[in-house]
Amino acid sequence: MHQELRLQKDYLQKQKIDTIYFGGGTPSVVGAAEIQKLVDTISSLHHVDANAEITLEANPDDLDTAAVKLLRQTQVNRFSIGIQSFYEEDLLWMNRAHNAQEAEAAIKRVQDAGFENITADLIYGYPLLTDTKWKSNVQHIIEYGIPHVSAYSMTVEPRTALAHFIKSGKQPSMNDSQSAEQFVVLIEMLTAAGYEHYEISNFAKPGCHSRHNSNYWKGVSYLGIGPSAHSFNQETRQWNIANNVKYIETITDNRIPAETELLSTSDRFNEYIMTTLRTAWGVDLNKIESDYGSDYKNLLQQNLKEFTDKGWILTTENIVTLSKEGKLFADHIAAELFINET
């Protein structure tokens, strides 16, 4: 990864680095020293803002006292902790490595060490999760004073053990109605507690938005390093080799391990719709016209009418956002607004 950083040093065209995010798996397993070495390499190749947000994704079981103490000596200043649930039976069902006690202990250790900028992940919409348990999970987050929450509905990926168990009748299917109801509970509880619902799956106390993820949604260029990592620079998208051995062989041969796609106007338009419609700041019709042309703006406004009539879309001063009900259908609405070149 150090070598790839050197090979890719010109990708971002010398723009200032405002955020660094260690994720896409469980980077906390490699230890504080390796994390800091990667930050040092990035800093040697790029202009990193002195107040850059540097996030580390971590499983609770990796955040023991010694690990947190070592991480305190690095430039990491934000944690993304994969809590998922505070219930033992739920974590076992999800095949998570940590238990409920470790979930709570990890939060306390990180806070006691002086880390204030924390986000926690929760999952809802699975058969074991009653509404009572879900409300308790959300209440735990509120009571711990965690400033940022990412919550996702359980999805079943193909060719996984869970998909096999559901197909064979050993596990019940996911329930869309349950997911929708628990999503509404999530919104109501967190907004009542002072969190801003600034993206479909993300909530934050004022001033605690994820700067890194917000940059994705605003279309800022980014560079991804490592197997399977994706990158975007406004005009192209590239994705790295997924196979670890081939990734290492390519890097060793001093070649960038990525395929590149040149984005068409409609690709960039669709990406803008997909990312911004999910956010509180919404789709800017003036930007659509200036960046993509009046034809795109006019066609978008035509396509919006159906969802405006249903009450799923709100348009205020040329800014298009989802209504509370519309947030339940965000992916469907975005897909219907896409424009495909012929």
Question: Mean pLDDT, to the nearest integer, of 233-247?
Answer: 94
Of the candidates 309, 290, 303, 292, the one whose C-alpha atom is nearest the C-alpha of residue 333 is 303
Q: What is the pLDDT of residue 157?
A: 72
For 277-342, give the CATH class. mainly alpha
Q: pLDDT tens digit string along 21-57?
A: 999 778 888 899 999 999 999 999 999 999 999 999 9
**Looking at 117-247, which runs of residues are DSSP E strands?**
118-124, 148-153, 196-199, 202-204, 230-232, 236-240
Smallest CA-to-CA distance from 138 within 147, 128, 149 is with 149
Q: Does residue 159 surpass a pLDDT of 90?
A: no
Reply yes or no on whether the pLDDT at 268 is more than 70: yes
Nearest by Cα to 53 from 201, 280, 209, 204: 209
Q: Which CATH class is domain 2-216?
A: alpha beta
- In the prediction, which pLDDT does 253 show? 97
Q: Quick one: average pLDDT of 302-306?
A: 96
Q: pLDDT band at residue 175, thresholds of 50, 70 and 90?
A: confident
Confidence of residue 164 (pLDDT cuts 50, 70, 90): low
**Cβ neighbours of residue 249 closer than 8 Å, sequence gap 6 or more:** none
pLDDT computed for residue 234 by the predictor: 87
What does 40-67 look like in DSSP terms, one character per residue? HHHHHHS-EEEEEEEEEEE-GGG--HHH
Q: Which residues have CB under 8 Å from 305's CB, separation 6+?
A: none
Band of pLDDT at residue 161, cut at 50, 70 and 90: low
- Average pLDDT score over residue span 14-26: 91
Question: Which residue spans within the chain are E strands per DSSP?
Answer: 17-22, 48-58, 78-84, 118-124, 148-153, 196-199, 202-204, 230-232, 236-240, 258-262, 283-284, 313-316, 319-322
The mean pLDDT value for 85-114 works out to 92
Q: Domain limits of the chain?
A: 2-216, 277-342
Angstrom CA distances, 318 to 286, 287, 314, 338, stand at 7, 9, 10, 18
Write down the pLDDT at residue 163. Answer: 67
Distance CA 257, CA 248 (A): 9
Residues 190, 198: Cα–Cα separation, whole Å = 12
In this prediction, residue 165 carries a pLDDT of: 67
